[in-house]
Amino acid sequence: MLHTTTTAAGRRAAFRAGLAAPGLLRLPGAPNPLGARMIETAGFDGVYVSGAVVSADLGLPDIGLTTLSEVAGRTEQITRVTDLPVLVDADTGFGEPLSAARTVQVLEDSGAAGCHLEDQQNPKRCGHLAGKALRPPEDMVRTLTAAVRARRDPDFVVCARTDAAAVEGLDASIDRARAYVDAGADMVFAEAMAGPADIERFRAAIDVPLLINMTEFGRSELLTATALSDLGVDVVIYPVTLLRLAMGAVADGLRALADEGTQAGLLDRMQTREQLYDVLDYDAYAAFDESVAGFRP
Ligand SMILES: C[C@](O)(C(=O)O)[C@H](CC(=O)O)C(=O)O
Ligand SMILES: [Mg+2]
């Protein structure tokens, strides 16, 4: 009930332990706190807060329009209801290196286990779209140095994302990743890998945990968890999967409701009242309330 039974520091330590252990950590992107509850119930290893999802949720494209407060607010709502570690997409850090330092502290205070910062120029865009522009690697190194120095909990994971593979080629992206690790990044997010061969080369070139993005309708071949694990990947994110599934169902449902004038034919595709209340632990709240109401000192 009320859901979080662990501290943020405990969840950060657990995330570190998960990264140090063999095997792949699977982090679906939570469209909202309810989705995070469902991710936990379904047995996943962590929750991802996707910039694309936060933007889309606000009716905005993912081009760096969201603010740190919006992302941190969503992060806090999510970390409050799950015992899983939460990894946050911090885009380009919301400003210059000093702002990236503040971003890390604000996200720590939001209960996150870590965040990733990317080497795109603003306005940034989805890593799988054409037309990305990169910052010089030295700028990104400054951002990472500031981010790493700002954290107060050494377990907070600072992950460096490089978007260079699709712009400057794989070799350049590996060079960048190495420089980012030298600057203190704990993990590397190799964005928009085409397939297993790219991942294999990246894996062999860096000696910190590697994060791979299995986003749909992008540049990357969708690989199974087993294949990713066999390639030595440590973390996989499915950033927009749940939002796409839910919104696909919403579009179908709206069409059917408009055409048929009733939602009666859609019931078997819905989360039932019972299933929803299960996720929310409704009975425990009712029992708690009753025990308080019936309490006799
Ligand atoms: C991972 C990502 O940064 C996100 O915001 O979730 C996006 C996902 C997407 O747009 O599909 C990305 O740039 O890959
Ligand atoms: Mg993003």
Q: What is the pLDDT of residues 132-143, one digit of tens each?
A: 999 999 999 999
Q: For the chain, what is the mean pLDDT?
A: 96
The tens digit of pLDDT for each residue in 196-208 reads 999 999 999 999 9
3-state helix, strand, coil in the chain (%, to 5): 50, 10, 40
CATH class of 8-239: alpha beta
| Tally of CB atoms within 10 A around 281 | 16
The tens digit of pLDDT for each residue in 248-274 reads 999 999 999 999 999 999 999 999 999
Please indicate whether residue 182 is annotated as part of the active site. Answer: no
pLDDT at 295 > cutoff 80? no
Name the closest-CA residue to atom 9, ligand 1: 126
Please indicate whether residue 126 is annotated as part of the active site. Answer: yes
pLDDT band at 290 (very low <50, low <70, confident <90, very high): confident
What does pTM read for this prediction?
0.97
Half-sphere exposure of 185 (CA within 13 A, CB side): 31
pLDDT at 297 > cutoff 70? no
Q: Going by C-beta distance under 8 Å and a sequence separation of 6 or more, which residues neighbour residue 94?
A: 67, 68, 100, 102, 103
Name the closest-CA residue to atom 11, ligand 1: 215
Most informative mutation of 27, 47, 49, 50 for ligand 1 (most atoms within 8 A of CB): 50
CA–CA gap between residue 74 and residue 55 (Å, rounded)? 11
The residue length of the chain stands at 297
Average pLDDT over residues 29-42: 97
In angstroms, what is the span from residue 161 Cα to ligand 2's centroid? Answer: 10
pLDDT of residue 294: 73
For the chain, the domains span 8-239, 247-293
Please indicate whether residue 234 is annotated as part of the active site. Answer: no
CB burial of 158-196 (b: ≥16 within 10 Å; e: otherwise) equals bbbbbbbbbbeebeebbbbbbbbbebbbbbbbbbbbeee
